[in-house]
Amino acid sequence: MRQSRRFKLTLRQRDNIMGYIFILPFIIGFILFILSPVVQSIVLSTNEVRITSTGFELDYIGLSNYNFALRVHADFVEELVNVMRLMLMNVFWILVFSFFAALLLNQRFRGRLIARVIFFLPVIMSSGVILKLEQEDYMMGMLEGTVEETFNFVNFDALSSFLMRLRIPDGFMETIALAVDNIPTIINASGIQILIFLAGLQSISPSLYEAAEVEGGTAWENFWLITLPMISPLILTNIVYTIVDFFISPNNTLVQMIRNTTFQGAGFGVSAAMSWIYFTAIAVILGITLLIFNRLVFYHE
Amino acid sequence: MASLVAKVSYGKLTINGKQVLNLNAVSSFVYRVFRFLIIVGISYVILFPLIVKFSSSIMTRTDIWDTSVVIIPKYPSMNNYRLAYRFMNFPVAFFNSLKLTLGVSVFQLISCTIVAYGFARFKFFGRGLWFSLVIFSLIIPPEMILIPLYLNFRFFDLWGILPDGGLNLLGTNWPFLLPAMTAAGFKNGLYIYIMRQIFKGMPKELEEAAYVDGAGPFRTFFTVMLPGALHGLVIVFLFSFVWQWNDFSLTSFYLPDAEVLPIALSNLARNVLGDQYLHAPVEGSLVNNAGSFMIIFPILVVYAFLQRYFVESVERTGLTG
């Protein structure tokens, strides 16, 4: 107050100045460590890069790095399509599972605390070097077999021939097949999403359910008419988070391919071109997702 | 003989006017059993690898090939831990990792919190644009900016201010610390988002009262807002600590030869077994499991202490809305 009287600042001016002071670290960081590398990577992608002892030299070669990635490179396009398909299935199942798990963890029962501690464990366990070792590990390969065996009470061959007879479309079949094969992966990739959904469920005002009870609503109706619409913005948040998380994960095969290209393969320029193609694909998918789901989301205000 | 009159009303099964079964109670019992089984099943999927990892880390070769040994080894030994401790140079790697991780996560916590407060509480010109740039920073693939960043840190000259050729920051902690200080590190957009939601969820009256009492924006931020946002601070700190502690991707990029835990662990089997490495997957796996456990253990301890911020007060993380 005293300060603003001395400088005769209006509230709006104060907000402008204080706002920029607070976000100043991000502005600096964004320009230095995000924007400038992004611009540089555009430059790299149109050049041939050679590392020398005092720096690096660039030779402008136009779009031929992109051309190389898309037309010449043996696996890039195939892997890109593959990653997209995997992503769609993963996102769907992670979302279903995390929503279901959050509904469970939101109920009152004995041992809820322990259940929550366990469900969030993958957030801290399945990352970085631990995950990397598990993927390469011989014993963990055997272990995955054990866990899958446990889940084989669903006889998958019988199930698939049954679904075939029902003339279920192939894409749908594949989705189910992937889910059954990947139960542990999906559970382990759902930690943050469960956290987000749970937070959402807990923020739904109990008075809505009370009102529904007075009107004679059943649990089934409550779910479709209260829980789902109220949580729909978070479904969108989670879809976006899951897509991004899947795409930028260091364990993603395409990300690994781009990295290998940098140091062992065709070099910095081609790998920068590859990341740009990849980023464009991500942006397009995110754009389509937002376009489709934004209509379905219910906003409270 | 009187005829049998069975009637169901309000979920209660009555025969000849006498209640024999409460169907509501039955269905709720069935549901509870079902729920219990599902929760146990999921917990099994999550915990089983951890248990196997631990049990195999105290096994010897004999136990591995003994088919009667499933989880509990017959000849438990700490040998794998001894090997892992020696070949990872554990004390040195541990303290290097701790120094790096603490530095990064504390800086990220401070910078992201400050930035998030700016976004949450001040209506400044261009706020929407800058916030969309926060989201942008979250969705660009790290691989895309990794190469230019790598080159920048290799020849770090601050746009020609430093003498030609610049400094080589690779192999130091600076490539991690500099972005952390400026809220531009790995997944920092997510932390800004979380903290912004928390600040937005706090009542405005708190700050107004502080302003009326003569506190400036900074003092209000530090003395009024921060203590109220403790839950968010803990969660952001934990995420940032864990992701940096386990990180292999960036660490192998910037610190390929440093003695830090992720690098040490990824080379562990090769160092212990030497040339035999590729031909002895089981032995490699045993040591790796011991090593993994030594890395995870500190995180598990931290998680055990901080879990109540996760599980009890999720509603206050403010991730909603």
| pLDDT tens digits for range A115-172 | 888 888 888 777 777 777 777 665 555 555 555 555 554 555 565 666 666 666 666 6
Domain boundaries, given as residue ranges, for chain A = 1-41, 72-296
From the list A3, A18, A130, the residue facing B292 with the nearest CB is A130
CB contact under 8 A, B285 and A138: yes
CA gap B254, A72 in Å, rounded: 30
**Mean pLDDT across the stretch A184-193?**
84
Q: Which of A69-73, B149-153, B273-277 has the lowest mean pLDDT?
A: B273-277
From the list A22, A122, A184, the residue facing B115 with the nearest CB is A22
Question: Assign residue A167 a region: left if phi > 0, alpha if psi is -120 to 50, beta otherwise?
Answer: left
Query: What is the pLDDT confidence band of residue B61, given thresholds at 50, 70 and 90?
Result: confident
From the list B39, B148, B155, the residue facing A37 with the nearest CB is B148
Question: B21-42: per-residue pLDDT in tens?
Answer: 777 888 888 988 988 998 998 8
Nearest chain A residue (CA) to B163: A54
CB contact under 8 A, B242 and A36: no
- List, in order, residues 6 or more apart from A171 with CB less than 8 Å away: none
- List, in order, residues 6 or more apart from B120 with CB less than 8 Å away: B195, B196, B197, B198, B199, B200
Mutate which: A108, A139, A257, A261, vs B, most B CBs within 10 A:
A139
Are B184 and B251 members of one domain? Answer: yes
- For residue B317, the model assigns a pLDDT of 46
Tokens of B303: 């998680």
Nearest chain B residue (CA) to A256: B143
* pLDDT score of A284 more than 60: yes
CB contact under 8 A, B179 and A38: no
- For residue A208, the model assigns a pLDDT of 86
* pLDDT score of A199 more than 80: no
Are B84 and B48 members of one domain? Answer: no
Instruction: Quote the radius of gyration of chain B (alpha carbons, Å).
Output: 28
Q: How far is A46 from chain B (nearest CA, A)?
A: 13
- For residue B320, the model assigns a pLDDT of 44
**What percentage of chain B reaches a pLDDT higher than 70?**
91
Are B183 and B243 members of one domain? Answer: yes
Mutate which: A12, A16, A34, A153, vs B, most B CBs within 10 A:
A34
Tokens of A106: 């939101």
Q: Is residue B133 part of a domain?
A: yes
- For residue A146, the model assigns a pLDDT of 57
CA gap A247, A280 in Å, rounded: 12
Are B93 and B142 members of one domain? Answer: yes
Q: Which of A45-59, A218-232, B83-97 has the lowest mean pLDDT?
A: A45-59
Amino acid code (one letter) for B94: F
Please tell me which residue, B15 or B102, carries the higher pLDDT value.
B102
CB contact under 8 A, B295 and A116: no
Taking the CA atoms of A284, A289, A295 and A301 in sequence, report the sign of the dihedral they define: negative
From the list A23, A101, A134, the residue facing B42 with the nearest CB is A101
N-term to C-term CA, chain A: 33
CB contact under 8 A, B147 and A198: no
* pLDDT score of B289 more than 70: yes
Q: Which of A104-113, A155-164, B227-236, B257-266 has the lowest mean pLDDT?
A: A155-164
Kindly give the interhelix angle for A76-106 and B23-57, rounded to the nearest 10 degrees.
Answer: 130
Q: Is residue B69 part of a domain?
A: no
Chain B positions touching A129 (Cβ under 8 A) are 246-248, 261-262, 265-266, 292, 295
CA gap A170, A181 in Å, rounded: 16
- List, in order, residues 6 or more apart from A38 with CB less than 8 Å away: B140, B144, B145, B148
Average pLDDT over chain B, rounded to an integer: 82
Instruction: Quote the radius of gyration of chain A (alpha carbons, Å).
Output: 25
Per the listing, tokens 């130091």 go with: B172
Are B84 and B165 members of one domain? Answer: yes
Q: Is residue B225 part of a domain?
A: yes
Query: What is the pLDDT confidence band of residue B316, given thresholds at 50, 70 and 90?
Result: very low
CB contact under 8 A, B39 and A115: yes
**Mean pLDDT across the stretch A192-216?**
84
Q: How far is A299 from chain B (nearest CA, A)?
A: 9
Planar angle of CA B108, B112, B114, nearest 5 degrees: 125
Residues in chain B: 321
The answer to whether the CB of B112 falls within 8 A of the CB of B192 is: yes
Q: Which of A95-104, A251-260, B77-86 has the lowest mean pLDDT?
A: A251-260
Q: What is the DSSP letter of B216?
A: -
**Superfamily of domain covering A72-296:** MetI-like (1.10.3720.10)
Q: List B residues 90-149 in contact with A (Cβ-Cβ < 8 A).
A: 111, 114-115, 117-119, 122-125, 127, 130, 133-134, 136-149
**Mean pLDDT across the stretch A204-222?**
86
Tokens of A148: 């899958």
CB contact under 8 A, B42 and A187: yes
Tokens of A212: 């529904």
Q: Is residue B73 part of a domain?
A: no
* pLDDT score of A89 more than 70: yes
Chain A positions touching B144 (Cβ under 8 A) are 37-38, 41, 272, 275-276, 278-279
Question: B208-239: per-residue pLDDT in tens?
Answer: 888 888 888 888 888 888 887 887 888 888 88
CB contact under 8 A, A272 and B111: no
- For residue A4, the model assigns a pLDDT of 47
Q: Is residue B68 part of a domain?
A: no
Chain A positions touching B276 (Cβ under 8 A) are none
The answer to whether the CB of A194 falls within 8 A of the CB of A120 is: yes
Are B18 and B163 members of one domain? Answer: no
Query: What is the pLDDT confidence band of residue B318, given thresholds at 50, 70 and 90?
Result: very low
Are B88 and B196 members of one domain? Answer: yes
- For residue B1, the model assigns a pLDDT of 54
The count of C-alpha atoms lying within 13 angstroms of the C-alpha of B123, restricted to the half-sphere facing its C-beta, is: 3
- For residue A79, the model assigns a pLDDT of 86
CB contact under 8 A, A56 and B284: no
Alpha carbon of residue B204 to chain centroid: 31
Are B20 and B164 members of one domain? Answer: no
CA gap A231, A199 in Å, rounded: 10
Number of domains in chain B: 2
**Mean pLDDT across the stretch B299-317?**
68
**Mean pLDDT across the stretch A193-222?**
84
- For residue B321, the model assigns a pLDDT of 39
Q: Is residue B74 part of a domain?
A: no
CB contact under 8 A, B46 and A187: yes
The answer to whether the CB of B97 falls within 8 A of the CB of A1 is: no
Q: Can you name the residues that pair with A56 across neighbouring β-strands?
A: A51
Q: How far is A76 from chain B (nearest CA, A)?
A: 15
The answer to whether the CB of B188 falls within 8 A of the CB of B115 is: no
Are B158 and B38 members of one domain? Answer: no
Q: Which of A64-68, A114-118, B165-169 has the lowest mean pLDDT?
A: B165-169
Mutate which: B55, B80, B88, B144, vs A, most A CBs within 10 A:
B144
Domain that holds residue B10: 6-57
Alpha carbon of residue B253 to chain centroid: 21
From the list A54, A130, A247, the residue facing B246 with the nearest CB is A130
- For residue B113, the model assigns a pLDDT of 94
- For residue B138, the model assigns a pLDDT of 81
B18-22 sheet: strands from edge to edge? B6-9, B12-15, B18-22
* pLDDT score of A203 more than 80: no
Query: What is the pLDDT confidence band of residue B156, given thresholds at 50, 70 and 90?
Result: confident
CB contact under 8 A, A188 and B127: no
CB contact under 8 A, A147 and B45: yes
The answer to whether the CB of B165 falls within 8 A of the CB of B209 is: no
* pLDDT score of B95 more than 90: yes
Chain A positions touching B196 (Cβ under 8 A) are none
Query: What is the pLDDT confidence band of residue B114, given thresholds at 50, 70 and 90?
Result: very high
